[in-house]
Each structure stands twice: as structure tokens, then as C-alpha cells.
Structure 1
Amino acid sequence: MSKAILAKENILLNASLGSKEEAIRLTGSILVDKGYVAADYIEKMLEREELTSTYMGNFVAIPHGTEDSKAYVMESGISFIQVPQGVDFGNGNIVKLLIGIAGKDNEHLDILSSIAIVCSEEENIEKLVSAKSADEILAIFEEVN
């Protein structure tokens, strides 16, 4: 995964979030603040969550926009939020890692496969949840790719 897509300034550590909606909004706002997407993309992320949960198992959720949100994506990017205490995504699913993605053209598929490789290993999840710096998080993703 290229560094431009997951940059140190896109990583938020030790967040405390009260709800799934708050979690998705924060994940999206990093993408907006860094210029990857237009502000309307956040509503599309919430819409996507209504259609089907972005909870992936293993304490990970990957909020992203709906199929028709591509017009709001200016360039591919990832936001990463670590929530050590977890946030409830419904149905007893607790999320400790939020990975927001915006993919230009079909780049989101490559981004998703990189994330899936990292997040399929429980050991990586534990390292990501307990990481104390953005550099540690970047290193875990770089090891795999």
C-alpha cells in the first residue's frame, strides 16, 4: 500500500467514541480534512452502513461510501482510527480499529485486499490495537505489502 494512501497524519490513536455514527463520521472527516473526498462522502458512508454493516469481524470495521459516492472521491485515501476501548457496531460487534477508505476508479479493491491481508491475522490486530505511535501502525501495514 503506498504511503500516500495511508499517511501518518491520517492515523488517529487512542480515540474514544460513543456510537457507530460518531465513529463513521470521524473516520470520514479525516478523509475530508486531508482532501481525499468531498464532505458529502460522509453521508454516503452512513448510507452504506444502513445498507449493510461495514463490520468485518476481528474488531475491524471498514466504513466506506456507497456505489454512487464515487463522484465525491477526489483521490484514493485511507483513514485509520484506533479505539482501544471499542465502539459498539450493533449485534454485539465491538470495533477497535476503524479503517475508512476512499478509492478512486478501482483502486479501492487493491486497498481492501491490503487491509484484508493485515487484518486476517489476529496477531496484527492486537499489535494495531496496542500500537502507541502512527509509525508502529505504518510498519505493520508495510510488513505485509
Structure 2
Amino acid sequence: MDTPRCDDLLLDNQVCFALYSTSLMLTKVYKPILQAVGLTYPQYLAMLVLWERDGITVGELSARLLTDPGSVTPLLKRLEGEGLITRTRSSADERVVELRLTDKGRELQQQAQAFPACIVEASGQSAEQLMALKDELVKLRSQLQQALPA
């Protein structure tokens, strides 16, 4: 028995699959670049946040990465083990863990300066095209966040 064809349900017609598969490819492009400096992609994202704003809390970091604090704790322990960050309990509230870059963590930022150009080159697009795409994706993400139930 033939199943009726519904173009709305074709994999290649799904925005979610285009985003998912592109994210997978982007992560694969990043992998050797980040391995050269001893980072995983999630660790790199955490370091980007810390390079932007050193001294934040685990809660602030997880909010910035749109994830829950429990999921970032293992990667933060690894970054601390590598000597890139320190984690200390807040003196004002010991439930709060503050994150600070070490000298080694700050030095890594210098190496990371070359990463965006590698991604631009791998994409075959201009930096301007990628920024326009990023802006559209941020708008989409924001709209989807608003559509979530409270």
C-alpha cells in the first residue's frame, strides 16, 4: 500500500534539519582547530563568554549559553583542570560559584583570534554574509524563545 506523499514532511524541506545538519558540519570544521589548543566546542563557547566577561557566575554563564547550570559544571571542571579558569564560591553566597580566567586562559584568547577567519574561509562566504546569516538566526531564535510556553 502506497503512503501518500506530503512535501511538508520531507526531510530536506525541514528548517530544523537544515539548522541541525549545518550545526553538525560547523562543529566538525571547528574540531581540528580547537583540538590544536586543547578545547572541545562546548568548552570554546564557555571560554568565549569568559573572554567577553571575566568573573561571572556559573548561573550567568549557563544563561548566556542557553543551558542549565548542571550541564556546564563538568566542562568547567575540565577547564579548571587544564588551568584555564578558577571556580570559587562567592563570599556573599556560598551557593554561587564565580568563574575567573587564569593567565593561561587569557593567553589562549590570543590564539583564538585566528579562529573566526578559519570559519569564514571554510564557509566559502564573506564575513558580511556570515554576519547577516547570524543576525537572521538570532532573530529566529528570539522568536522561537517567545513562542515557548511560560
Which TM-score band applies after superposition, normalised by the shorter structure?
A: under 0.3
Higher RCO (CA < 8 A, seq sep 6+) = 1
**What TM-score, normalized by structure 2, do the two folds share?**
0.26
Task: Identify, as 1 or 2, the structure richer in helix.
Answer: 2
Structure of greater Rg = 2
